[in-house]
Amino acid sequence: MTTVTSSEFDRGIALAPDGSTGGHRGELGAGWQIGGGVNGGLLLAVAANAIRQELPEHPDPVSITGHYQATSHPGPVTARAEVIRRGRSLSTATATLSQPDEQGRPVEKLRVLASFTDLAGLAGEVRTSAQPPALPPREQCVGMEHAPRELIAQAALLERFELRLDPATVGWAVGAPSMNGRIQGWFRLADGREPDPLSLLLVADALPPVTYDLGLPGWAPTVELTVQLRAEPAPGWLRVSHATRNLAGGYFEEDCEIWDEAGRLVAQSRQLARVPRG
């Protein structure tokens, strides 16, 4: 069994109290880089972890939004969380991640606003008309060992994942994007760490940018990412789909759904990102 301290993800989001500021200190690992910066989903999970420290009664984000202000780099990070309101079933909080510039002055990289709850305490009926992505069995899917070399070179991140993409959505890897604006596949963390609410924040931003499938390769910087967590994920593989339907004015939305092995839609997210310059 994987314990908290032995998983790459848990080490990646770990925070320690920072006595001098009243905030938390962490370290962004080089292994979470993509396209020259640290992955936005990992950063959102770090910020959520800072909020969680302040909200033991409501440990899980039910809706969390991050606005990304500057590229984050491997190295020290400071997280500050502030609870805005403590409620009976929901609490609202904000958090910031900052990193020092070359002169040691703090630069804000991410601002987060979120409502937290206790997902394990949610009861009530489930009515889902949404359908999980139709994926071939994992052994018929494409591992990242087949990804374009320039993608892998820019994405140490991908080594943290076991990602098996639907062959119908990886034509871009051989110069033949489907132009449908969809990438989907099977996901789990490479070290076997099981999914939980915080790791789903990472998963929501884990696949290659969906613009690859529109024939627009390159890094697509996230402006804003909102993740809504709808249930605690069951252990096992996740099914993840990314889709876009509107690219305009230099921006596109990327809608993500995450389904767990029990067949539950456990997270829905949308990000607004900049179209890669190509």
Residue with tokens 């990102």: 273
Please report whether residue 111 would count as binding its own copies according to CB under 8 A. yes
Beta-carbon contacts of 180 under 8 Å, excluding residues fewer than 6 positions away, are 169, 213
| Least distance between its own copies and beta carbon 136 (Å) | 23
Please report whether residue 249 would count as binding its own copies according to CB under 8 A. yes
Please report whether residue 241 would count as binding its own copies according to CB under 8 A. no
The token duo for 198 is 């915080």
Smaller CB separation from its own copies, 46 or 62: 62
Question: Binder to its own copies among 2, 7, 154, 180 (CB under 8 A)?
Answer: 180
Using DSSP, state whether 81 is helix, strand or coil: strand
The token duo for 92 is 């609202």
Residue with tokens 């994920």: 233
Please report whether residue 67 would count as binding its own copies according to CB under 8 A. yes
Q: What radius of gyration do the chain's Cα atoms show?
A: 18
Please report whether residue 88 would count as binding its own copies according to CB under 8 A. no
Would you call 196 exposed, middle or buried from its count of C-beta atoms within 10 A (0-12, 13-18, 19+)? middle
Smaller CB separation from its own copies, 90 or 156: 90
Beta-carbon contacts of 189 under 8 Å, excluding residues fewer than 6 positions away, are 7, 8, 9, 160, 161, 162, 195, 199
Size of the site for its own copies (CB under 8 A): 51
Please report whether residue 128 would count as binding its own copies according to CB under 8 A. yes
What residues numbered 2-41 form the site for its own copies, per CB under 8 A?
Answer: none
In this structure, are residues 271 and 253 in contact, taking their beta carbons and an 8 Å threshold? Answer: yes
DSSP 170: -
| Bridge partners for 24 per DSSP | 17, 79
DSSP 80: E
Question: Binder to its own copies among 31, 152, 265, 276 (CB under 8 A)?
Answer: 265
Question: Binder to its own copies among 35, 251, 261, 276 (CB under 8 A)?
Answer: 251
Please report whether residue 268 would count as binding its own copies according to CB under 8 A. yes
- Applying CB under 8 A, which residues contact its own copies? 62-63, 65, 67, 69-70, 84-85, 87, 90, 92, 94, 108, 111-115, 119, 122-130, 180-181, 214, 223-224, 226, 228, 230-231, 245-251, 253, 264-265, 268, 270, 272, 275
